[in-house]
Copies of this chain bind each other. A is one copy, B any other.
Amino acid sequence: MILIELPFDRSIGDRAKLTLQKTVKLEAPYLIFNGDIDDESYSKTGRGIVDWCPDRVAGQMRLPGGTIDIGVPELSLAQAVEKGVRSFIIGITPIGGQLPVHWFPVVMEAIEAGIDIVSGLHSRLVDIPEFAVAAKRSGSRLIDIRVPPAGIPVGTGKKRSGKRVLMVGTDCAVGKKYSALALTRTLSGLGVKATFRATGQTGIMIAGTGIAVDAVVVDFISGAAEMLSPDNDNDHWDVIEGQGSLFNPGYAAVSLGLMHGSQADALVICHEATLTQILGWPDYSIPSLSECMEANLRMALLTNPDVRIAGLSINTSKLPVDERAQYLADLSREMELPCSDPMVDGSQVIAENIRDTF
């Protein structure tokens, strides 16, 4: 089962080939490392990988004291080597975003076994001299997902071939990654050529490639977004993971740069049904859905005058179970657009709308 197409498959043109070399490319199979963590809430990265690309995962590993179990085979490092594991993925985001020192020895062992180390933490693997020296010796790559590739150009604004749908939202953390992954899967199931394009760390680990756009210098953010979804077949859709929100006072620039570089033909508005305040900015209210739609359309017009909204992807999990379907039906009638919860049916109506009317 291929859930996520790697972007090398369908890219066309020299420009695409040139730019894609600059993005990171992770080697499967993965060993997901869960450390000695016993709190499930830190294991989202590892779980996301197992949920969305189980065929890239060989197994998991934990240290004494750890209780996280993401439902794949438990492997020692020796067993992982035997199974041909190519990447040791830090599946945990500890508080503070630092790699705990007592995890160093096992990471070092993996480096010495020639396995790539992949981390989305704020502290960088390459800044630990012992790792750098050992990796040079063994040929292991130290891959800091949050470090963008070198040489990202300024966005050109030039029209590219192929089609693009971008997730935008009323806030950060409203399900943009999940919506993009579900939509990619559903489009593929409908026979539509579609590639998930990752813009954040977990997304990159799932797709095996991508750029953490929020870590790019602001002058180059739309250029990074252009690299992420290069020229492609005319009937191919890039399904682009969104970041931030135009309504978030800290991160709106991330959203706008990603939007301008994406040149989206279609936008999917992502929202969590019960949200009222911007998470972490208590003075800021969540915009109404029509306000969100209007602002995003307006700004997206700059680089694609034909942009339209393909649907609303709503996380309804915090609504009472018996109200969810009615909420979506009412919203769909009010907005005159397909509305669905991606966790319920994988955004079926939005995928059909994209297939039939774009």
Contacts and interface: CB of A to CB of B under 8 A. Distances in A.
Interface of A: 154-159, 213-219, 221-223, 246-247, 249-254, 256-257, 260, 281, 283-284, 295, 298-299, 302-303
Contact of A302 (B214, B249, B254, B299): B249
Contacts of A216: 217-218
- The count of identical subunits is 2
Given A250-B155, A252-B302, A257-B253, A218 B214 contact: yes
A258 to B, nearest CB: 8
The 9 lowest CB-CB distance pairs between A and B, nearest first, are A157-B249, A253-B257, A218-B218, A253-B253, A155-B250, A154-B250, A214-B219, A218-B221, A253-B256
A217 B219 contact: no
Contacts of A252: 222, 256-257, 260, 299, 302
Given A217-B216, A217-B218, A218-B217, A155 B223 contact: no
Interface centre among A158, A218, A302 (most CB of B within 10 A): A218
Contact of A157 (B155, B260, B281): B281
A250 B157 contact: yes
Contacts of A254: 218-219, 253
A218 B253 contact: yes
A254 B81 CA distance: 46
A283 to B, nearest CB: 6
A263 to B, nearest CB: 9
A295 B302 CA distance: 11
Contacts of A249: 155-157, 222, 260, 302-303
Contacts of A246: 299, 302
Contacts of A298: 295, 298
Interface centre among A159, A256, A298, A303 (most CB of B within 10 A): A256
A218 B283 contact: no
Nearest to A153: B250
A218 B253 CA distance: 7
A249 B215 CA distance: 19
A219 B251 contact: yes
Contacts of A157: 249-250, 281, 283-284
Contacts of A158: 283
A154 B244 CA distance: 12
A261 to B, nearest CB: 8
A254 B260 CA distance: 12
Interface centre among A159, A252, A254, A295 (most CB of B within 10 A): A252
A256 B218 CA distance: 10
A256 B258 CA distance: 13
A250 B283 CA distance: 31
A283 B159 CA distance: 10
Given A157-B281, A219-B250, A252-B257, 8 more contacts: A156-B281, A215-B219, A218-B221, A249-B303, A252-B256, A252-B260, A252-B302, A253-B253
B154 A251 contact: yes
15 contacts: A154-B250, A155-B250, A156-B281, A158-B283, A214-B219, A215-B217, A216-B217, A216-B218, A221-B253, A222-B253, A246-B299, A246-B302, A253-B256, A253-B260, A256-B256
